[in-house]
Structure 1
Amino acid sequence: MLTVKKIIDKFNLKIISGNEGIDKEIVNIDVSRPGLEVAGYFSHYSSDRVQVLGMTESSFFERMLTEEEREDRSKRLCRKETPCIIVTRNLGAPLELIEACNQTHIPLLVTEDNTTNFISRMSNFLEKALAPETNMHGVLVDIYGIGVLITGESGVGKSETALELVKNGHRLVADDNVEIKEVSKNVLMGSAPPLIRNLLEIRGLGIINVMTLFGAGSILEEKRVMLNVSLEPWESDKTYERLGLDQKKMRILNSEIDQKTIPIRPGRSLAGIIEVAAMNHRMQHMGYDAAQEFNDRLNRQIQVNGGMIDDL
């Protein structure tokens, strides 16, 4: 749960009044500048948002309103669902607003940041803090800038493969339990729970600290999840993708990412295959698709030979 107290600590805000309400929950991802409301128009007041008063709102409040109007606006700004009101640039808060916040137990806070910069920082923070989230069993590794989520049954070799990838110079984000947040449509950010951050479990060896063994460059706190590699034991009677034309997707929350299924068999270098999968995924996003190029070549050859492909 995100409370006002957490944003006070995060942004180093000063409390002016309404101290009793610092445990109020913030539920809306948006931030409002109630300029029209200060002028008296409350028909569409988004009262459940964090309210930010900049220099424009504060100066209008002080210079253009009578004492009665300031009292009225202050009371109407302070509704029970309003999480807090924040004044920027270290501007002095109007006395009427201070009293209204004390009466309604709505925290009135002050930041030294300018309004535009503060709203941008607050919006980015709220997007992540209030984003839909889930937990997945797997390993998340940053490979050539691509966040690869390695999944599969327990004991299939996910952590051992991640260890090999780290030895090859790639970075571990999370092992065993990956926390995933959907910060926007098809943008999934993965991280490790604090309890297991930087740790990797290898069966027969135990828990190892990747940062201690391989250095700070071997770990990453957070990474966008872009590709899923699913590991599964090889089944002789199962048909596996050989060309790469069939683009499978994995759904996480309300988003989708590309998925590749890698069958495990003795002698296969899983780390090397996953590295190539990440590089190929990156090339596809840059506009080059080897599978599609081969398919085009094949079609051209068929046309040249009149439907015959004997010489391929």
Structure 2
Amino acid sequence: MDYVLLKNLIKEMNLEEVYLSDDADKVKINTTEISRPGLQMAGYYQKFVPDRVQIIGSAEWHYLRDMDDDMRYRSLDKFLSYPIPVVVVARNHDVFPELLELARKHGRTVLRGKKSTSMLINDLVINLGLWMAPAVTMHGVMLDVFGIGVLITGKSGVGKSETALDLITRGCRLVADDMVEIMRVEDTLRGTCPELIRYFLEIRGVGILDIERLYGVGAVKQFDYIDMVVELEAWEKGKEYDRMGLEEDTIEILGINLPKVTIPVKPGRNIAMIVEVAAKNNRQKRLGYNAAKELDERVKRSIEDRKKAHSTGSKPD
């Protein structure tokens, strides 16, 4: 979504409603940038961007407090005449009577927060960034597999949820089943579950399971960052499957390439254990160690040693 409704921001941030404009429910915030209008209070408007959330921090508040009443009125009158979406007073400072009067005059919403200016700005940037991040919904299951965010995909009925349940009994944590909401946050992908079905898992033949109630809060997680994708597919006789892992497959989601592992499913294979090992192997690769490449190098060195020994007539070690 490329905007955030002001009413949702107020609800999420738990901000005090000092004055709500008549159109507050319809006001849209279109940027994650935040402004502290100290220069505007002093009369400089050449580089002013009015469509941002405007924060009156401690410095701006004290500057306004030290003005005489007439100057403060004129300064705020000009400031609020611009089409700003909202003014937020930080540190629970008192709201100047002039600010309240002029907010009514120009139809501007005024809110107040208890946190320090820097913490308030940080929270606003994070929340606005999440709401306005590019997003997509994918069919699959997502888990935290011992610190690795794993998105499990595959056709319906291949065993994604059953694999997830097995992993949960091993100590992994469920993030989402069936529908995974993915959003891009800078250069990472953040996965979560729609609130309506959060922490529920469907197992064919059993029904719907509430994982949080069955296994406790330690078995679930509200969101996680996706580190890899595991695709489950029915085993196809005659199909060549990767046995070494020298060539790494990837998948693109919202412009970001993630490592992808394809696991063939057939009776007798412990898929949950394989997914767990794949996740731990992925972590080793991220730390700089690749078992497949290490074995390949050893084999190459062994062949070279044998060639040298053959040419000199000596026995290889």
Query: What TM-score do you get using the length of structure 2 for normalisation?
Result: 0.89
Residues 1:277 and 2:257 aligned together:
no
1:39 shift after superposition:
2.2
Measure, in 2, the Cα distance between the counterparts of 1:233 and 1:14.
55
Contact 1:37 1:77 in 2 (8 A): no
Deviation of the 1:179 alpha carbon:
0.8
Deviations 1:143-196, CA, capped at 9 Å, x for gaps: 1111110000111111111111111121111100001111211x1111111111
Cα 1:248–1:35 change in 2 (3 A) is: farther
For normalisation by structure 1, the TM-score amounts to 0.91
Match for residue 56 of structure 1? 59
Question: Which runs of no fewer than 5 residues in structure 1 stay unpaired?
Answer: none
Q: For residue 144 of structure 2, give the secondary structure of its aligned residue in structure 1.
A: strand
Local SS of the residue matching 1:251: strand
Q: Helix, strand or coil: the match of 2:29?
A: coil
**2:133 partner SS:** coil
> Which one is further off, 70-79 or 261-270?
70-79
Q: Contact conserved, 1:189 with 1:222, CA < 8 A, in 2?
A: yes
Q: CA deviation at 1:292?
A: 1.7
Match status 1:36 vs 2:44? no
Partner of residue 87 from structure 1, selected from 66, 69, 89:
89
Structure 1 residues 242, 95: CA separation in 2 closer, same or farther (over 3 Å shift)?
A: same
Asked whether the 8 Å contact 2:80–2:103 carries over to 1, the reply is: no
> Comparing 28-37 with 132-141, which one deviates more in the overlay?
28-37
- Which residue is equivalent to 1:219? 220
| 1:109 alignment counterpart | 111
Deviation at 1:77, TM superposition (A): 4.3
List per-residue Cα deviations over 1:101-123 (Å, max 9, x = no partner): 21232211111211111111222
Equivalent pair of 1:132/1:181 in contact (CA under 8 Å) = yes
Task: Output the CA distance in 1 between the equivalents of 2:40 and 2:302.
Answer: 69
1:1-312 paired onto structure 2 within 5 Å: 2-23=4-25, 24-64=27-67, 67-68=70-71, 70-80=73-83, 82-185=84-187, 187-306=188-307
Taking the aligned partners of 1:129 and 1:286, their CA distance within structure 2 comes to 32
One-letter amino acid of the structure 2 residue matched with residue 234 of structure 1:
W
In structure 1, how many angstroms separate the alpha carbons of the residues matched to 2:51 and 2:13? 20
In structure 2, what residue type is equivalent to 1:275? E
Residues 4 and 264 (structure 1), Cα distance of their counterparts in 2 relative to 1, 3 Å cut: same
Structure-2 separation of matches of 1:255 and 1:74: 46
Separation in 2, partners of 1:65, 1:51: 22
Aligned amino acid, residue 178 of structure 1:
V
Q: RMSD of the alignment, in Å?
A: 2.3
Range moving further from structure 2, 67-76 or 7-16 = 67-76
Quickly say closer, same or farther: Cα 1:175–1:15, change in 2 above 3 A: same
**1:267-308 deviation digits (Å, cap 9, x = unpaired):** 211001000001111111122211121122122223222399
Q: Separation in 2 of the partners of 1:4 and 1:155?
A: 42
- Is contact 2:80–2:108 with CA below 8 Å preserved after alignment? no
* Cα gap change, 1:298 to 1:70, in 2 (>3 Å): farther
Give the whole-Å Cα distance in 2 for the aligned partners of 1:78 and 1:279: 57
SS in 2 for 1:169: coil
| Structure 2 residue runs without a partner (length 5+) | 311-315
Deviation of the 1:65 alpha carbon: 7.2
**Conserved? CA contact 2:72–2:98, under 8 Å:** no
Work out the percentage of aligned pairs sharing the same amino acid: 39
